[in-house]
Amino acid sequence: MVHSENKGMGFFFLTLTFGVFALLSMELGIMGVLPIVAEKYDISVADAGWAVSIFALIVAITAPILPPLMTRYDAKR
Protein backbone atom coordinates (compact mmCIF):
# COMPACT_ATOMS: atom_id res chain seq x y z
CA MET A 1 0.00 0.00 0.00
CA VAL A 2 1.30 3.46 -0.93
CA HIS A 3 1.04 6.17 1.69
CA SER A 4 -0.36 9.50 0.60
CA GLU A 5 2.90 11.36 1.30
CA ASN A 6 4.82 9.00 -1.04
CA LYS A 7 2.50 9.27 -4.05
CA GLY A 8 4.41 12.09 -5.73
CA MET A 9 7.87 10.69 -5.00
CA GLY A 10 7.95 8.44 -8.06
CA PHE A 11 7.30 11.37 -10.37
CA PHE A 12 9.82 13.47 -8.44
CA PHE A 13 12.59 10.91 -8.85
CA LEU A 14 11.73 10.36 -12.52
CA THR A 15 11.94 14.10 -13.14
CA LEU A 16 15.18 14.38 -11.18
CA THR A 17 16.71 11.47 -13.10
CA PHE A 18 15.72 12.99 -16.44
CA GLY A 19 17.14 16.37 -15.41
CA VAL A 20 20.50 14.91 -14.37
CA PHE A 21 20.66 12.92 -17.61
CA ALA A 22 19.90 16.03 -19.66
CA LEU A 23 22.55 18.12 -17.90
CA LEU A 24 25.23 15.48 -18.25
CA SER A 25 24.32 14.93 -21.89
CA MET A 26 24.73 18.65 -22.55
CA GLU A 27 28.05 18.85 -20.78
CA LEU A 28 29.60 15.63 -22.02
CA GLY A 29 27.81 15.16 -25.33
CA ILE A 30 29.82 17.92 -26.98
CA MET A 31 33.09 16.03 -26.50
CA GLY A 32 32.44 13.75 -29.46
CA VAL A 33 31.90 16.65 -31.84
CA LEU A 34 34.49 19.02 -30.40
CA PRO A 35 36.76 18.93 -33.48
CA ILE A 36 33.77 19.76 -35.70
CA VAL A 37 32.79 22.69 -33.48
CA ALA A 38 36.38 23.94 -33.46
CA GLU A 39 36.55 23.75 -37.24
CA LYS A 40 33.16 25.47 -37.65
CA TYR A 41 34.18 28.47 -35.52
CA ASP A 42 37.78 28.48 -36.76
CA ILE A 43 39.33 27.96 -33.33
CA SER A 44 41.63 25.31 -31.93
CA VAL A 45 40.22 22.16 -30.33
CA ALA A 46 41.83 23.26 -27.06
CA ASP A 47 39.98 26.58 -27.13
CA ALA A 48 36.70 24.81 -27.86
CA GLY A 49 37.47 22.49 -24.94
CA TRP A 50 37.93 25.51 -22.69
CA ALA A 51 34.45 26.71 -23.62
CA VAL A 52 33.01 23.36 -22.54
CA SER A 53 35.05 23.45 -19.33
CA ILE A 54 33.88 26.94 -18.46
CA PHE A 55 30.25 25.92 -19.04
CA ALA A 56 30.70 22.88 -16.77
CA LEU A 57 32.36 25.04 -14.11
CA ILE A 58 29.47 27.52 -14.16
CA VAL A 59 26.98 24.66 -13.80
CA ALA A 60 28.98 23.18 -10.91
CA ILE A 61 29.14 26.52 -9.10
CA THR A 62 25.52 27.54 -9.58
CA ALA A 63 23.93 24.11 -8.99
CA PRO A 64 24.12 24.23 -5.18
CA ILE A 65 23.42 27.98 -5.01
CA LEU A 66 20.37 28.51 -7.22
CA PRO A 67 17.86 26.03 -5.73
CA PRO A 68 17.90 27.59 -2.23
CA LEU A 69 17.61 31.05 -3.78
CA MET A 70 14.68 30.00 -5.96
CA THR A 71 12.65 28.45 -3.13
CA ARG A 72 11.36 31.87 -2.12
CA TYR A 73 9.42 32.14 -5.43
CA ASP A 74 6.05 30.44 -5.72
CA ALA A 75 6.20 27.97 -8.60
CA LYS A 76 2.43 27.94 -9.02
CA ARG A 77 2.13 31.62 -9.90
Rounded-to-integer distance, Cα 54 and Cα 39, Å: 19
In this prediction, residue 59 carries a pLDDT of 82
By residue count, the chain amounts to: 77
- Judge contact between 52 and 31, C-beta under 8 A: yes
Least trusted range by pLDDT, from 5-9, 67-71, 72-76: 5-9
Per-residue pLDDT tens digits for 24-64: 787 677 888 899 999 999 999 999 999 888 988 998 899 88
| Parent domain of 37 | 4-70
Tally: H helices and E strands in the chain:
4, 0
Does a structural domain hold residue 35? yes
Report how far apart the first and last C-alpha atoms of the chain are (Å, whole number): 33
Rounded-to-integer distance, Cα 34 and Cα 47, Å: 10
What is the DSSP code (8-state) at residue 31?
G
Does a structural domain hold residue 75? no
Structurally, how many domains does the chain consist of? 1
In the predicted structure, residue 1 carries a pLDDT above the cut 60 = no
